[in-house]
Amino acid sequence: MARLFQENRLVIASHNPGKLREIAELLAPFDVEVVSAGDLGISEPEETGLTFRANAELKARHSAEASGLPALADDSGLAVTALNGDPGIYSARWAGPSKDFQMAMRKVEKGLSGKTDRSAHFVCALALAWPDGHVEIFEGTVDGTLVWPPRGEKGFGYDAMFQPTGQTLTYGEIEPADKHATSHRAAAFGQLVDNCFRI
């Protein structure tokens, strides 16, 4: 049985403003004070894990140990079928030091040149770590198709080129509330809430 989160303050182990905003919105119903690792002056650890789960755990443990508070970390990315799952855990790194996701999307599109399979999925692993070393990890995915050119400016990362299965709009075009209901992060978050939170 998973450990319940019973504290009233939680560190979000991320320096990504889009990700911070999305997680804070998902946590809004739980009366939890959310603070970012960046606001606490906690550095970003080197992501040496080979899976989303491993990197999420690494980041959550790092922030929990540094802050003395429970910490929630997300490791997520785009896995493109025709690119053998790339960019995968390297999704952010494809955007370079300046986090240029327009460049990263062009790199994905270039890789798909001449390929007919444009299927992909977003993966999100969420790790909730406590300062005593206990960790709970949950993973969610959402399937879709990659479109070109990118459409919409409401999301972040690769959202503007990702059209979820059964939808006509990309994650860059739909309202954030609608994305929260269907995304890979929402799927992982639903498991986290079901197991570790009580309203």
**With bands split at pLDDT 50, 70 and 90, how would you rate the model's confidence at 199?**
low
Q: What is the reported pTM?
A: 0.89
Average the pLDDT over 48-68 and give the result: 96
As a whole number of angstroms, the distance between CA 49 and CA 76 comes to 13
* Percent of the chain clearing pLDDT 90 (strictly above): 77
Omega before 17 within 30 of 0, i.e. cis: no
The b-or-e profile of 88-127 (16+ CB within 10 A means b, else e) is: bbebbebbeeebebeebbbbbbebbeeeeebebbbbbbbb
With a cut of 70, say whether residue 101 has pLDDT above it.
yes
**Does the domain formed by 9-196 have CATH 3.40.109.10?**
no
pLDDT tens across 130-161, in order?
A: 999 999 999 999 999 999 999 999 988 999 99
Torsion of Cα atoms, 85 then 143 then 27 then 132, to 10° = -40
pLDDT of 109 reads 98
pLDDT tens across 74-88, in order?
A: 999 999 999 999 999
Please tell me which residue in 31, 75, 86, 117 is annotated as part of the active site: 75
User: Between these two residues, 46 and 57, which has the higher pLDDT value?
Assistant: 57
Average the pLDDT over 29-48 and give the result: 90
**With bands split at pLDDT 50, 70 and 90, how would you rate the model's confidence at 198?**
confident
Instruction: Report the SS3 class of residue 142.
Output: strand
With a cut of 80, say whether residue 96 has pLDDT above it.
yes
Average the pLDDT over 15-41 and give the result: 85
Mean pLDDT of the chain: 93
Is 31 part of the annotated catalytic residue set? no
